[in-house]
Amino acid sequence: MSDENNKWDIQEYQVIKVDYRRFDVNTIMGGELSDGVGKLLEEGKKNIILDFSKVAQISSVGLGAVASAYREISEQSGTLKIIGVQESVLEVIQSTRFDQFVELHMLVEK
C-alpha cells in the first residue's frame, strides 16, 4: 500500500470507475473494464486509475481482469493505480501479492 503522503498528479491519469459492489465473474462478463482500458490505450492515454471506492468484494476472476488490464497498460509503457481500496479488497489483493505490481491508495487527496 502506498504511503498516503506520496503525492502524484492525478491530472496525468484517466480514471475508470468500477461501479460494482462485487467485482466478480458476473460483472466481468460485460467487458467494461477491458473495453475501457483498450479505448484509453488506443487514444494514447497510458496512465490509468481504477476507482475501487464502491468495490467491497473481489473474486479471483475480478483480480484476473485487473491483471489483464495491468498487462495491457504495461505493454504500452503505462502506469496503473487503484484508488479507494477497501480493507476487504486490500486483503485479497495482498494475499495474492498483486500489490507488488500495482500501486494502491486508500484515499486520494485533491
92 located within any domain: yes
Residue 1 domain-assigned (yes or no): no
The average pLDDT across 9-34 equals 80
Find the helix or strand (DSSP H, E) in which 25 lies: helix 25-28
Residue 110, in any domain of the structure: no
Catalogue the E-assigned strands of the chain: 14-17, 22-23, 47-51, 57-58, 79-83, 103-105
CATH number at residue 60: 3.30.750.24
Q: 27 is in which domain, residue-wise?
A: 11-105
Distance CA 82, CA 68 (A): 14
Count of domains forming the chain: 1
List the grid coordinates of 13.
Answer: 491519469
User: 22: Cβ–Cβ under 8 A, 6 or more apart, which residues?
Assistant: 55, 56, 57, 58, 59
Give the mean pLDDT of 6-19. 77
| pLDDT, tens digit (0-9, with 9 covering 90-100), for 24-73 | 777 775 578 888 999 999 999 999 999 999 999 999 889 999 999 999 99
- Residue 93 located in a structural domain: yes
